[in-house]
Chain A
Amino acid sequence: MAETAHGHVGSTGISNVKLGMWAFLGSECLLFGGLISTYMLYRGRVTGGPRPSQIFDIPFTSVSSFVLLMSSLTMVLAVSAAHKDDDQKTNLWLTITALLGATFVGGQVYEFTAFYKEGLGFSTSLFGSSFYTLTGFHGVHVTVGIIMLMSLVGILKRSSVPGKKAEVVEMVGLYWHFVDIVWIIIFTLVYLIPV
């Protein structure tokens, strides 16, 4: 099997790692598609507890969304720096991306706590269950992304990256951007479109 600047390549002439990552992201579309559709179906089912319009804090969520969107910019700058073999900048942008991601997750924890205090528990209504499941799954994905980013920073500092360094950073980047595009959809369909 040949190895190029983009890592191991098979008979297709393209990177196997990248091919695997895109196939994984394609399958993740199905996972989030299921969660989003279930939320859309149940968002109006409020038998007890608050309705979406009573608890959503749009200015707060807008700032969170902006933070996650900007983390995509810092991530792509990290990938760009990795392609230029600039380890210092790569580490800097990866760390900033992780911090922005942590800010987003912190905001989500605050939001969940505020909703719970206002009477929206996981089993309060179908709206509550589907909302917490969808946004919780996304939050877990962001958290996994932060762990990946911080691990990558540690690995890069020890200069023990398995395979091509730029490609490893790019793969983590693809996962991070995917988490961002899922939030682009969630922000519009869950928060901005009224029930």
Chain B
Amino acid sequence: MSTETVETTHEKEHGMSDAGYIRIALILGAITALEVTTYYVDFGPLFLPALLIMMAIKFVMVVSYFMHLKFDNKVFSFLFYAGLVLAVGVYAAFLATFHFFIR
């Protein structure tokens, strides 16, 4: 099988080429740089939402593209996101009992 054919087969199975992975990594690096900027530049009331949104974007990008969840069987997505949603729900409730969100 030629290199090109192997590359195409891999892309079909995993939805991304090596160049695509490098592009994703560059975007992740740029978002990280933006995140660090928020520590030094005053973004006012936008600071916290912007930081959390950037964190969520990075998280989803790594899970979807590097971990191939976007292109894989939906059962894997269910297993992982079920654990994640359960964790977020349980610990949000846990923090709420300590009045964490109304300080």
Q: How far is the CB of B27 from chain A (nearest CB, A)?
A: 11
Q: Tell whether, in the assembled complex, residue B21 and residue A73 are in contact, meaning their CB atoms are under 8 Å apart.
A: yes
Q: How far is the CB of A88 from chain B (nearest CB, A)?
A: 13
The reply on A142 being an interface residue by CB < 8 A is no
Contact with A along B5-25 (1 / 0, CB 8 A): 011001001100010011011
Q: Tell whether, in the assembled complex, residue A22 and residue B25 are in contact, meaning their CB atoms are under 8 Å apart.
A: no
In the complex, the chain A residue whose C-beta lies closest to that of B47 is A193
Interface pick from A23-31, A109-117, A131-139: A23-31
Residues of B within 8 A of A84 (CB): 3, 6-7, 10
In the complex, the chain A residue whose C-beta lies closest to that of B7 is A84
Q: What are 13 A-to-B residue pairs whose CB atoms are below 8 Å? A: A19-B75, A26-B80, A30-B83, A33-B88, A41-B98, A69-B32, A76-B21, A76-B65, A76-B66, A80-B18, A181-B58, A184-B62, A188-B54
Q: How far is the CB of B69 from chain A (nearest CB, A)?
A: 9
Question: Interface size on B (CB < 8 Å)?
Answer: 48
What does DSSP make chain B's interface, helix, strand, loop or mixed? helix
New A-B contacts (15) at CB < 8 Å, excluding given A70-B25, A180-B62: A19-B79, A26-B84, A28-B83, A30-B83, A36-B91, A37-B94, A58-B36, A66-B29, A72-B62, A77-B21, A173-B67, A177-B63, A184-B59, A188-B35, A192-B39
How many of chain A's residues touch chain B, expressed as a range? 35 or more
In the complex, the chain A residue whose C-beta lies closest to that of B38 is A192
Residues of A within 8 A of B (CB): 12, 14, 18-19, 22-23, 25-30, 32-34, 36-37, 40-41, 58-59, 62, 65-66, 69-70, 72-73, 75-77, 80, 83-85, 173-174, 177-178, 180-181, 184-185, 187-189, 192-193
Contact with A along B81-94 (1 / 0, CB 8 A): 11110111011001
Q: Contacts A40-B100, A185-B55 hold; do A66 and B91 have CB atoms under 8 A apart? A: no
Most buried by A among B14, B67, B88: B67
Residues of B within 8 A of A (CB): 3, 6-7, 10, 13-14, 18, 21-22, 24-25, 28-29, 32, 35-36, 38-39, 48, 51-52, 54-55, 58-59, 62-63, 65-67, 73, 75-76, 79-84, 86-88, 90-91, 94-95, 98, 100
Most buried by B among A12, A41, A83, A184: A184
